[in-house]
Structure 1
């Protein structure tokens, strides 16, 4: 049955109207309409708020542990998407982990270029700590560019007075804004959602004249020593496969406890399709188990 599910999802994504590299205002609208076409379950609440001056959406599911929190970072190539758009996937994580998910509405490029997103992420984390949630009970989770933002934020935290969170899980992370991984071309025909050219367009929007290989822009080139335990999940049918593999390898080389999970024949951020794909639910279960294992008692 899963082969049929994978084929159906591939067809769905190939015929979707979204063009990640297209005109920004139009694509933001399309992105929102695609995501919002799937309503949140009745037992999920998503409340707008603020954390450290940064807009957030707090996603809650039944039976939560109030002592813990997931700080969630949405995808969209640093230019699309929103905290509310990501509420469905954040809710899937929240439900499995048993903790609220706080989705960060970091400012988007090109209106707010690098390093604004990182500044917003650090501000939100600082405020969450100030509210009394201990770092050992906080996990970072991010998808696509949000996964890259997780990694960049963890690196940025090393130059602050803040502790690292208990752990981090990233789904199909975009961590090389030079778009130099072999899979950018090697997986181009298999990837139904992303193209290397679209990512290069959005990288220019985000970075402007900055070097695309800056460690905080492309954490694949950063010193990852001192980072908390890291889980990296990726599909084998996506152009960001190499980003995930290299991130895990670099983390391991810098003595970071890291797990890499490559799920065969599934696309970019396949975890967002748990209603359609068995592997998505299995990957979310694995991510939740990883998060819970690394939380302080």
Structure 2
């Protein structure tokens, strides 16, 4: 397995500072279905990286969004499982963060839109991941 790491850039610091500032004035989202809309609205504020294309797709039977950088690394991909404790969050809301990851790593990033609890409790929340190639 290849691990890619990089030092925090000034742009990364600015993005993190902006996210911390937004979170500081926002009420903490509760991990319950009623919080989904507010949580998605907050996460959707992460800007889409200009150099990254986004397309709907599917991996292992699970829908989601591909975030593909202009000069993507061949035969590499990042599988990004969004936050929210399997109860809140969506791939659509995390496209901005996925695009930022793809832009900084140069690796296509798939943001999975797995089913959420309590409607789809674990292990049903991500049945397609069991079929991903090793």
For the superposition of Structure 1 and Structure 2, which TM-score range results when normalised by the shorter chain?
0.7 to 0.9
Aligned partner (choices 8, 24, 27) of residue 33 of structure 2 = 24
- How many angstroms does 1:10 deviate by? 5.0
Quote the Cα distance in structure 2 between the aligned partners of 1:11 and 1:70: 28
Aligned partner (choices 89, 93, 103) of residue 97 of structure 2 = 89
* Number of the residue aligned with 1:57: 65
User: Structure 1: where are the runs of 5+ without partners?
Assistant: 127-162, 164-297
1:68 to 1:60, Cα distance in 2 relative to 1, 3 A? same
SS of the aligned residue for 1:116 comes to coil
Contact 2:51/2:70 (<8 A) preserved = yes
Quote the Cα distance in structure 2 between the aligned partners of 1:91 and 1:35: 13
Question: Bigger radius of gyration, 1 or 2?
Answer: 1
Q: Which has the higher contact order (CA 8 A, sep 6+)?
A: 2
1:11 to 1:70, Cα distance in 2 relative to 1, 3 A? closer
Aligned partner (choices 36, 41, 47) of residue 49 of structure 2 = 41
State the TM-score, normalizing by the size of structure 2.
Answer: 0.74
* Number of the residue aligned with 1:71: 79
Quote the Cα distance in structure 2 between the aligned partners of 1:49 and 1:10: 31
* Number of the residue aligned with 1:223: none
Quote the Cα distance in structure 2 between the aligned partners of 1:10 and 1:53: 35
Quote the Cα distance in structure 2 between the aligned partners of 1:91 and 1:65: 14
Quote the Cα distance in structure 2 between the aligned partners of 1:102 and 1:37: 19
Quote the Cα distance in structure 1 between the aligned partners of 2:28 and 2:57: 28
Contact 1:18/1:30 (<8 A) preserved = no
Contact 1:45/1:61 (<8 A) preserved = yes
SS of the aligned residue for 1:117 comes to coil
More helix by share: 1
Quote the Cα distance in structure 2 between the aligned partners of 1:43 and 1:9: 21
Render the CA deviation track for 1:95-142: whole Å, top value 9, x for unaligned: 23222011111111010001123423223x23xxxxxxxxxxxxxxxx
SS of the aligned residue for 2:129 comes to helix
* Number of the residue aligned with 2:119: 111
* Number of the residue aligned with 2:8: none
Runs of 4 or more above 3 Å deviation: 8-12
